[in-house]
Homo-oligomer: A and B are copies of this chain.
Amino acid sequence: MGGEDCLSGVRVLDLTQFEAGPSCTEALAWLGAEVVKVENPSGGDPGRAINPPPGADAHYFLQYNANKKSITLDLKTSGGLSLLRKLAQQADVFVENFAPGAIERLGLGPATIRALNPAIVYAQVKGFGAGSPFENNLAFDMIAQACGGPMSITGEADGPPLKPGPTIGDTGTGMLLAVSVVAALYRRTRTGAGEHIEVAMQDAMFQYMRGAFATQTRTGQPTGRAGAGSVLARNPPMGIYPCQGGGPNDYVYVYTSRANPEHWRRLLSVIGREELREDPRYATSAARLEREAEVNEMVAAWTRRHDKYEAMRVLGDAGIPAGAVLDTAELLEDPSFAERGIMQTIDHPTIGAYRMPAWPVRFSGRPPPVRPAPLLGEHTEAVLAEWLGVATGAGA
């Protein structure tokens, strides 16, 4: 048994593009839903065109649309709209992340679709929430990360705000929507009722930085930036230390928890400074905070003599939380991830073999299998026949 049959039988009508919406519907697809992506015939999801290889869909698109089907419909024509409404009557879930007001202008807003199909779970992603002063503004990942707080807590303590590299604004939002959609489907097995679900990218950011809000309440001040440390508390040594090699990611993260004084004592043994175990100048985290630069240099003097993998291994074996800073090449090429199904290689009709991260949660030991993202309109005929054919009762 694996996760790929969890949502068997669930039909998702997917009017999303780029990342925030597609990451949600892709999670549903990986877990077994039949996700039908509805695209315009003239190019489809603009995500297909973000730095594509010649004559093919972008790798970016492949990442966020695996295991889905694609149909093309021209929603600027009454025929296209009519087909979309018929498909919505056959769907269990409807997801969209167009610009504010666009889906309503098409006549496909929540009131209309829910009137046609009261049992449908109708889900929307916007940049800003309904009722926000900015509800009509456009949003992208970086706008959400600015207005939702992440940039204010990322960067060096004395430097300007910085954007986290991960796309929390997009996929971070999509994951909260996915939890909510599946929960509404679960309730529907009991009540039969549909739902209208909305999430705003700005609002979603708070979920990923609640430690910073806790610190704000405790101190009464806006939570600042903590560099490689934690917004909860400074507790040296903790940080990113340089390793042998000198490359841009030849670093190791070393953490010593205040909750476990053994981390520090074990670290002293590893770095050959056992004489300091009982030294009151370093014995507590409060004392080490007084000598932060000195403590950090003690650790760095050791890490500089080791490569990052060795440093991680030695520290980890000694029971000290430590992690090498790994880059995309090191992660993509590490055979351990492929063996465990965390990275999977698809055979895409125009891209060929492409290794990509899968849904990283294992069900009975394995993540769900990845199937290639669809070509534009690849499933138009099949879906219109299956969903709207005489056998399914709706009539085409």
Complex Cα spacing A98 to B357, Å: 26
A327 interface neighbour in B149, B240, B320, B343, Cβ under 8 Å: B149
Question: A45-53, A79-87, A293-301, A385-393: which one contacts chain B?
Answer: A45-53
Question: A34-42, A68-76, A169-177, A270-278: which one contacts chain B?
Answer: A169-177
Decide: A255 and B211 in contact? CB cutoff 8 A.
Answer: no
**Interface core residue of A165, A208, A232, A326 (most chain B CB under 10 Å):** A165
List, in ascending order, chain B residues with CB within 8 A of A251's CB: 146, 151, 160-161
Decide: A182 and B171 in contact? CB cutoff 8 A.
Answer: no
Known: A210-B63, A332-B213. A360 touches B203 (CB 8 A): yes
A240 interface neighbour in B160, B200, B218, B316, Cβ under 8 Å: B160
A365 vs chain B, min Cβ distance (A): 8
A5 vs chain B, min Cβ distance (A): 6
List, in ascending order, chain B residues with CB within 8 A of A252's CB: 146
Decide: A184 and B63 in contact? CB cutoff 8 A.
Answer: no
Decide: A60 and B232 in contact? CB cutoff 8 A.
Answer: yes
Decide: B210 and A171 in contact? CB cutoff 8 A.
Answer: yes
Tell me, yes or no, whether A154 is within 8 Å of chain B by CB: yes
List, in ascending order, chain B residues with CB within 8 A of A206's CB: 331, 342-343, 357, 360
List, in ascending order, chain B residues with CB within 8 A of A329's CB: 216, 221-222
Tell me, yes or no, whether A361 is within 8 Å of chain B by CB: yes
Decide: A5 and B146 in contact? CB cutoff 8 A.
Answer: no
Chain B residue with the shortest CB-CB distance to A257: B140
Decide: B216 and A161 in contact? CB cutoff 8 A.
Answer: no
A347 vs chain B, min Cβ distance (A): 15
A363 interface neighbour in B136, B180, B217, Cβ under 8 Å: B180
Residues of A181-212 at the interface with B, using a CB-CB cut-off of 8 Å, are 182-187, 189-190, 193, 195-200, 202-212
Tell me, yes or no, whether A119 is within 8 Å of chain B by CB: no
Decide: B197 and A362 in contact? CB cutoff 8 A.
Answer: yes
A153 interface neighbour in B154, B166, B222, Cβ under 8 Å: B166
Interface bracket on A: 35 or more
Complex Cα spacing A213 to B345, Å: 13
A336 interface neighbour in B133, B182, B207, Cβ under 8 Å: B133
Tell me, yes or no, whether A248 is within 8 Å of chain B by CB: yes
Tell me, yes or no, whether A155 is within 8 Å of chain B by CB: yes
Decide: A131 and B180 in contact? CB cutoff 8 A.
Answer: no
Tell me, yes or no, whether A230 is within 8 Å of chain B by CB: yes
Chain B residue with the shortest CB-CB distance to A144: B323
A332 vs chain B, min Cβ distance (A): 6
Tell me, yes or no, whether A142 is within 8 Å of chain B by CB: yes
Known: A139-B323, A329-B221. A162 touches B154 (CB 8 A): yes
Known: A255-B142, A255-B143. A197 touches B59 (CB 8 A): no
Decide: B162 and A155 in contact? CB cutoff 8 A.
Answer: yes
List, in ascending order, chain B residues with CB within 8 A of A229's CB: 163
Complex Cα spacing A49 to B232, Å: 12
Per-residue 0/1 for A51-62: is the Cβ within 8 Å of any B Cβ (1 yes, 0 no)? 101000011101
Tell me, yes or no, whether A231 is within 8 Å of chain B by CB: yes
Complex Cα spacing A141 to B137, Å: 33
A395 vs chain B, min Cβ distance (A): 28
List, in ascending order, chain B residues with CB within 8 A of A187's CB: 5-8, 32
Decide: A186 and B186 in contact? CB cutoff 8 A.
Answer: yes
Tell me, yes or no, whether A282 is within 8 Å of chain B by CB: no
Residues of A321-369 at the interface with B, using a CB-CB cut-off of 8 Å, are 321-332, 336-337, 339-340, 342-343, 354-357, 359-365
Given A147-B323, A216-B329: 5 more A-B contacts, CB < 8 Å: A31-B180, A51-B232, A144-B323, A150-B166, A209-B328
